[in-house]
Structure 1
Amino acid sequence: MQHDQFIGQVQARARLSSRGEAERATRSVLETLGERIPEGLAENLAAQLPIEVGEHLRRTEVFSGYGTGERFDLDEFVARVSSRSGFDEPRAAFAARVVCEVVDEATQGGVMDKVQQSLPEDVQSLVTAGSTGQMHD
């Protein structure tokens, strides 16, 4: 998947009004995901995404000072996406589901399954929900 196609999918599925919003949503979600998952896994995931998109997974230390593998729950994940994106928390959660769905479609080899397995159950529900907005049990 190419960068423009990736961002276009995020924009359409998240019903965002501009490419800029889709870029911001993608950056916010992937930087937060990059903080939560182990560094090697973040690198594997980034390598399968368009360069401009994958780079967001590698920028985690700059923002948080913590790097990767940090432990936090769903509420903190959504709060970080909200803070970075400027979206309110319900919209940030929806954007996170959409971005993760597009990432899943853009990658191969079960890398998103490995991402899900590295996350606590509450965050897994966000990553696996997809743009339907339905949380999986």
Structure 2
Amino acid sequence: MDDEQFFSDVESRADLDSREEAVAAAEATLGVLGERLGDGADALTDELPANLATAMKNEGDEAAGFSPDEFVDWVREAEREQGASLDVSSARLHVQAVLESLERAVDGEAWNEVRSQLPDEYERLFKAG
């Protein structure tokens, strides 16, 4: 899946009004995911188009440990820095839409590797609903 398909998928899944909102949601979510996974994101970034992989680059090698609720808060804050005004429910929907799109964009082995690095409590972020 190329980046345009990815953004289109995010836009549709999160019921966003523009491509710019989809890009902001994707960049924020991928950035926080990169922080959460540290070096563990390598299998995923190898499968993504360059600009999406760049969004996941973490300056440190170590994975940061934080809860799913903190993950959503970090994404919400990252989107706010880009000019969006989100409540927690909207931020959670953005995270879920990006993660669902990400699952479709990469091969199953890379996706399973990512999921295995996250605690079971993250399961609620993998599917909207």
TM-score by length of 1: 0.84
Contact 1:49 1:106 in 2 (8 A): yes
RCO (CA 8 Å, sep 6+): is it higher in 1 or 2? 2
Give me the whole-angstrom Cα distance separating, in 2, the residues matched to 1:43 and 1:13.
Answer: 25
Give me the whole-angstrom Cα distance separating, in 2, the residues matched to 1:18 and 1:24.
Answer: 10
Contact 2:14 2:94 in 1 (8 A): yes
2:50 corresponds in structure 1 to 51
1:26 corresponds in structure 2 to 26
Contact 1:78 1:93 in 2 (8 A): yes
Contact 1:77 1:123 in 2 (8 A): no
Contact 1:34 1:68 in 2 (8 A): no
The 4+ residue runs of structure 1 with deviation greater than 3 A are none
Amino acid at match of 2:27: R
Please say if 1:85 is aligned against 2:84: no
Tell me the number of residue pairs that the alignment of Structure 1 and Structure 2 aligns: 124
Instruction: Give me the CA root mean square deviation.
Output: 1.4
1:75 corresponds in structure 2 to 69
Amino acid at match of 1:14: A
SS at match of 2:54: helix
SS at match of 2:118: coil
C-alpha deviations, 1:55-86, integer Å up to 9, x for none? Answer: 1111x33xxxx654010001110100000113
Shift in alpha-carbon separation, 1:95–1:47, aligned structure 2, 3 A: same
Note the C-alpha offset of 1:109: 4.1
**Which 5+ residue runs of structure 1 have no aligned equivalent?**
none
1:16 corresponds in structure 2 to 16
Give me the whole-angstrom Cα distance separating, in 1, the residues matched to 2:36 and 2:123.
Answer: 11
SS at match of 2:56: helix
2:120 corresponds in structure 1 to 121
Between 1:18-27 and 1:68-77, the stretch displaced more is 68-77
**Which 5+ residue runs of structure 2 have no aligned equivalent?**
81-85
Between 1:67-76 and 1:29-38, the stretch displaced more is 67-76
